[in-house]
Amino acid sequence: MNTDGGERDWYAKAGVRRDPRRLLRDELRSGRLYFPPALIPYGAHPLVRALPARAQEALAARHLFQYLGFTTHFETQVVNRATQLIATGGCGVDITADARLDAFRIYCDEGYHALYSFDVIRQIADACGVEPVPYVFTPFRAALDAIGAEALPGQPVLAQLLQVVVFETLVTAILSEVPKDERVLGVVRQTVRDHARDEGWHHAFFAGFFRELWAQNSPAQRVRIARCLPRLIRSSLLPDLRPVRAMLSIAGLGAAQVEEVVADCYGRAGDQRGTRVAARHALRLFEETGVLAVEGARGAFHAAGLLTDGKEGVG
Supply the minimum distance, in Å, between the C-beta of residue 112 and Fe ion. 8
113 binds Fe ion (CB under 5 A): yes
Residue 260 CB contacts under 8 Å (≥ 6 apart), including other chains: 47
Per CB under 5 A, the segment of 102-110, 222-230, 273-281, 306-314 that binds Fe ion is 102-110
Ordered alpha helix ranges (H), the chain = 10-13, 15-18, 46-49, 53-74, 80-87, 97-128, 138-151, 156-168, 173-177, 186-215, 219-237, 241-250, 255-265, 269-278, 280-289, 297-303
Nearer Cβ to Fe ion, position 110 or 119? 110
280 binds Fe ion (CB under 5 A): no
Q: Identify the sign of the CA torsion 82, 86, 87, 88.
A: positive
Per CB under 5 A, the segment of 80-88, 200-208, 273-281, 292-300 that binds Fe ion is 200-208
Per CB under 5 A, the segment of 55-63, 146-154, 202-210, 249-257 that binds Fe ion is 202-210
Supply the minimum distance, in Å, between the C-beta of residue 268 and Fe ion. 28
10 Å Cβ neighbour count for 220?
A: 7
Supply the minimum distance, in Å, between the C-beta of residue 113 and Fe ion. 4
Supply the minimum distance, in Å, between the C-beta of residue 89 and Fe ion. 20
Distance separating alpha carbons of residues 47 and 50, to the nearest angstrom? 5
| Whole-number CA gyration radius for the chain | 20
3-state secondary structure 113-177: HHHHHHHHHHHHHHHHCCCCCCCCCHHHHHHHHHHHHHHCCCCHHHHHHHHHHHHHCCCCHHHHH
Site string for Fe ion, 41-80 (x = CB under 5 A): ----------------------------------------
10 Å Cβ neighbour count for 90?
A: 10
Supply the minimum distance, in Å, between the C-beta of residue 277 and Fe ion. 19
Supply the minimum distance, in Å, between the C-beta of residue 164 and Fe ion. 8
Per CB under 5 A, the segment of 105-113, 179-187, 248-256, 261-269 that binds Fe ion is 105-113
Per CB under 5 A, the segment of 85-93, 123-131, 191-199, 295-303 that binds Fe ion is 191-199
Total residues contacting Fe ion by CB under 5 A comes to 4
Supply the minimum distance, in Å, between the C-beta of residue 238 and Fe ion. 19
105 binds Fe ion (CB under 5 A): no
Per CB under 5 A, the segment of 82-90, 103-111, 237-245, 284-292 that binds Fe ion is 103-111
Nearer Cβ to Fe ion, position 79 or 226? 79
Supply the minimum distance, in Å, between the C-beta of residue 73 and Fe ion. 12
Whether 253 contacts 47, CB under 8 Å? yes
Nearer Cβ to Fe ion, position 14 or 147? 14
Whether 167 contacts 210, CB under 8 Å? no
Distance separating alpha carbons of residues 220 and 137, to the nearest angstrom? 33
Residue nearest to Fe ion (CB): 202
202 binds Fe ion (CB under 5 A): yes
Give CA torsion, residues 84, 215, 7, 112, to 10 deg: -20
Nearer Cβ to Fe ion, position 285 or 294? 285
Whether 45 contacts 265, CB under 8 Å? yes
Residues that bind Fe ion (CB under 5 A): 110, 113, 199, 202
